[in-house]
Structure 1
Amino acid sequence: MRKPRQPLALAKSFILYAALFVFLIPFLLVLMNSFKKTQYFVENPIALPRSLDFSNYVNAFENMGFLQAFVNSTIITVIGVLLILVFSSMTGYLFVRFKWKVNTVLFFVMLASMTIPFQVIMIPLVMIYGNMHLLNMKASLLFMYMGFGIPFGVFTYHGFIKGIPFELEESAFMEGSSRLRTYFHVVLPLLKPVTVTLLVLDVLWIWNDYLLPSLVLLSPDLKTLPLSTYAFFSSYSVDYSPLMAGLVMTIIPVLVLYLFLQNQIIKGITEGALK
């Protein structure tokens, strides 16, 4: 009975590996071209590098101001993700456990805000913040990330918290636990699957974001890694090879984070799907 299934299993494996290769093609092209001279890149961008020349990485590290940009990206990503997760989970809990009419209205307002494209409001947003002299500040950027990230987080947590039995919290209340302590010690640990999922999505979003930081952070010493790669663009040309090296260096931190947390990420997403 197993033999007829072997060709089907082989076909599925082949399709999966083929899809993996297709998804890896952009990253492999960037990696290959990061070891070339710009001249060779322009001549044939899909050819293999003639040698492993790391001068592009040295050039990118110096011209991008990599260390300062890395620190800026790390601070903004870590603080932004933490704020989104904390406020999203607490707001979702409030909407589920407190049956106030205003909560229903606010929940649907948040859902409606998710349908508005950022490009529609980015110019008025920048004009308002500029008139209030609130641009060129990390705090302003973090506040905007909270505004754009919390609605989706609340929507995700809301559906997950509805599946948690309220009897667990009642037991804690009977033991004398406060509402806040019950949330952090009983409810929040049960939200680990959805929290891990949102953590991955928000880290990728904020770390790789170019448009919003480019509108808010104007000073060179505040630039994030995606903004610092623009150092290789001039008025009439682009230095492609150091740019590719800079992109690889920008990708590596998130890739390393995923390699360290892959078991927790897969487990969290799997438990969230089962939930």
Structure 2
Amino acid sequence: MDKKYTGKTFTVEILAILLGLVFLVPFYYVFSNSLKTFAEILTNTSALPSVLQFENYINAFKQLNYLKAFTNSLIITVASNVVLVVFCSMAAYMLVRTKKKISNVIFMIFVAAMVIPFQSIMIPLIKTTSSLGLLNSVWGLVIMYLGFGSGMTIFLYHGFIKGIPVELEEAAIIDGCTPFGVFWKIVFPLLKPITVTVVILNSLWIWNDFLLPQLVLQDASLRTIPMATFFFFGQYTKQWDLALAGLVLSIIPLLIFFFSMQKHIIKGITSGSIK
């Protein structure tokens, strides 16, 4: 029997709507102020723009060198996701299937690394990467993202792989499949839900990251979108009109990607936990 629609349900729905509106407030401020003049932003931040200043987006696009910054961000995000998926899926598979205490110890080390704040290892990291010649290198940055993202990625893969029946792998081995082939031909295709989840979560993190690229990429031609947007804020002036327009331009690709893939996030995480 269906539950009746009660006053309590109505109250919960109203509270949920109000909470949702609260979360949308920052988006309103960013978008509305991106269409104002600099003077109007300073005098009346909360109001709607009196005249829509679409030239803010044109000027921001040019000053950001948007296509170059977008390409840099895209290359870094895609490359980092590829290495994270490849190496972390294999590592998680071996940790799950190797029934030894050392496997549990290694897994716990990866999980524990997730709580270490980046600021505590920032200076040693830069000194080490400088001595290895990885500074001012896109691939050096990708390697760092592999290190920092391995903890969460292995954690997610680990929980999902535990739900895959070992009998599938044993049958493949009997048919003559190598251990390497068992993973890539049998196991990895079954990891699609959690792989999509991993890619989405890591993309949100890598695309929006500012501090690590700022420390590693010193060449202006290698700037990512967050780095390029930062240069609207100088020592003596802050170009809020262009900065906010640039911010909208930077989040549009990520919003499109997120909303097109968001249904896989809960599916991937719950599949791993239920199995």
Q: Same fold (TM over 0.5)?
A: yes
What residue identity is the alignment partner of 1:85?
A: V
Counterpart of 1:15? 15
Q: Deviations over 1:94-147 (max 9, x none)?
A: 111123454333223223322321100101111222233321000110010000
Counterpart of 1:235? 235
Instruction: Indicate the larger mover: 245-254 or 129-138.
Output: 129-138
How many Å apart are 1:20 and its aligned residue?
1.5
| Contact 1:229/1:243 (8 A) holds in 2 | yes
Counterpart of 1:207? 207
What residue identity is the alignment partner of 1:169?
A: E
How many Å apart are 1:269 and its aligned residue?
4.3
Counterpart of 1:128? 128
Counterpart of 1:255? 255
Counterpart of 1:93? 93
What residue identity is the alignment partner of 1:140?
A: G
Counterpart of 1:157? 157
CA distance in 2, matches of 1:74, 1:3: 48
Could you say what secondary structure the match of 1:5 adopts? Answer: coil
How many Å apart are 1:272 and its aligned residue?
4.0
What residue identity is the alignment partner of 1:98?
A: T
Counterpart of 1:108? 108
How many Å apart are 1:273 and its aligned residue?
5.0
What residue identity is the alignment partner of 1:244?
A: L
Q: Deviations over 1:63-121 (max 9, x none)?
A: 11100000000000011011111111110001111234543332232233223211001
Unaligned runs of 5+ in 1: none
Counterpart of 1:52? 52
Counterpart of 1:80? 80
Q: Give the alignment's Cα RMSD to 1 decimal.
A: 1.9
What residue identity is the alignment partner of 2:146?
A: M
| Contact 2:159/2:273 (8 A) holds in 1 | no
Instruction: Indicate the larger mover: 23-32 or 169-178.
Output: 169-178
Counterpart of 1:40? 40
What residue identity is the alignment partner of 2:95?
A: F
Could you say what secondary structure the match of 1:232 adopts? Answer: coil
Instruction: Indicate the larger mover: 222-231 or 181-190.
Output: 181-190
Aligned CA distance change for structure 1 residues 130 and 79 (closer, same or farther; 3 Å): same
Counterpart of 2:182? 182
How many Å apart are 1:177 and its aligned residue?
1.8
What residue identity is the alignment partner of 2:173?
A: F
Instruction: Indicate the larger mover: 248-257 or 96-105.
Output: 96-105
Aligned length: 275
Q: TM-score, normalised by structure 2?
A: 0.93
Q: TM-score, normalised by structure 1?
A: 0.93
CA distance in 2, matches of 1:153, 1:267: 16
| Contact 2:163/2:272 (8 A) holds in 1 | no
CA distance in 1, matches of 2:105, 2:270: 32
Aligned CA distance change for structure 1 residues 264 and 245 (closer, same or farther; 3 Å): same
Q: Deviations over 1:9-41 (max 9, x none)?
A: 322322222221111111111000000011111
CA distance in 2, matches of 1:109, 1:262: 29
